[in-house]
Chain A
Amino acid sequence: MDKGKKIWRKNLIKSLTLGVFLFLLSFTFEPYNQGQLALVLMLFIGVLSLTVLTGASGQISLGQGALMAVGGYASASLITNLGASIWVGFLVAVSATAIFGLILGTAAARVSGPYLAGTTLVIALALPSVANRFESVLGGDVGLIVDFGTPPAWISNLIEVGYEQWQLWVALPVALTALFFTSNLMASRAGRSWQAVRDDEIGAAVSGIPVARTKVIVFVVSSAIAGLGGALYGLRGLVGPSVYPVSLSLTLLTAAILGGVGSIAGAFIGTLIVVFLPDLIDWAISGLAISEQFSNYLPSLLTGVLLLATIIINPAGVMGAGHRRKH
């Protein structure tokens, strides 16, 4: 068996094992934590898109949430206007965001660093205006109402499935597909060429890697992954500008940094932190007499502190720290 096939098999086993683990875990969780775990999987896909873009190719995006929105709108438009299934919606979301990423990536390849970050941020900020300009199709600033629906009869006849559990079960195969795809991609020849561009553009060019084209390809792939995550994320109830605000992009970036930019395991751990940290804080302060006005903002405050501490003390994030210890 050649090396590529072995990596492919190893990633398949890892993805399936994680899937089985989370599937079994869904039976032990209360609905709230089932919903939170589903949210982890949705955001994890978004963070994976950053892992590819920033971790593998070194490009910075502050507007990844807007790419998720493109996927969300593509999927929701199809579901609400044509009655398509959510699974078809996912495919369309990936395709539409890939095309959007191609257009954006072509422009993005000409800029780098803070300019690229600024460009992507502007796209995220422009989203409400775009949604409002095409109100009849995109639902204006309210958005399009979509959801996960209910389990098919053959499942609900077998077992009682709650709304949050169903969310988790839908999110699981989608996230695992993204995980499997990204894991293989990062370990592939293409992934290595992206990393070469990230580490030294001139060196990569000398080695025969077309730098500009590579950057565009990475943008397309990253966008497609973000679009998939966005379609899934929108199914929580609504696809609209307020669902994909700039703060979503920053949350994705926070998760990527906390876990370790460029690490797939780090992406998962970082997402777990940003999703479950508010609950941990809630639990920690539950016995204290703190006003709601303050306690409602404590998670954001502490996440910010954690982010700053990570950047200053351990810039490589959780997985980066583990990696250093191994060596």
Chain B
Amino acid sequence: MSSGSNGARRVASLLRPSIIDSSVCRSCQETLGRRSYASAAPATEATSASTSADPAVKPAYTINAGVVLSRPPQITRELEPFEKAFFFYQKRLNERLALPFTKYFYFKRGTPADEDWKKKIQERRTAARDIGKYNAYDSDAWNDELLLGAPESEPEHQLEALVRDAESTANATSQDTSKKEEIPRPFPRITEADKKNDQKSLDRLLSRTLYLLVQSKEGHWKFPSSPVESGETLRTAAERTLAQSAGVNMNTWMVGFHPVGWHSYNPPKKSADTPGSKVFFLKSRMMAGQADLSLNTQNLKDFKWLAKEELAQYLNTQYYSNIKNMLADR
């Protein structure tokens, strides 16, 4: 391509009326100004020259990078009463519709396992171990609904039934009758931290997402955030903020490079010369470790790990209403 036509294009791009919207940020303006790879360079040169022309204009807002550091749920949620009842009903219904258990295939006659099986089937009348006393092939099999206050549909009750069954099988079939077999139960859903309501602990509220909240020396609570320095991207600024506020003793993962939400702070009208601030929050996941504010350089004094509803008690109303939609329900 000759230089003559290139120069003509540059002149044309200067003469063309600007399509740039003033509400669009500078990096986005470059994206918009870029038409194709061939004509990209002259177009962006023209726009960047026009936008960076006036250095005297003071920014109305400082740009801050915030981190929403969250510990995802560790265990399943609590079931609703309806779900418990529904799942239990479906289990008994399955028992009615499935073919009967083929005992001879699994137990050889005369073995300890066979004796143990006979004892159990007499007790609970069905092959399933977690649906209570119910025989699907009986004449009163229609009576499959639980009465009020029956514990059989509770997950804890079903778990206990399974564990006791496994224990009695182990005891009945083992050679050593002097020793009692103990099968370990799963860890409880309610931890020590839950009982003490230790809001600094990551073991609290295992079925919920917990978010890291920090308190500044002035006393207000917020997500860790600090101004973006020159030459930094939002992501690097967020990583720096996290390291400077909650320490490096955490294994975290930044989710993507884009903010998931933002909060804008306008200063009161009296102090009109001080700029407001806009905080753009990046999402981050907690893998291991714990927050440590002892070496922080962000002027912080305290931190807490809180679930979504608990955040509302600590954050101011405007802040909470800005951030609440980017948080997970569970």
Q: Do A and B originate from a single complex?
A: no
Q: Which residues of A contact B (CB under 8 A)?
A: none
A-binding residues in B (CB < 8 A):
none
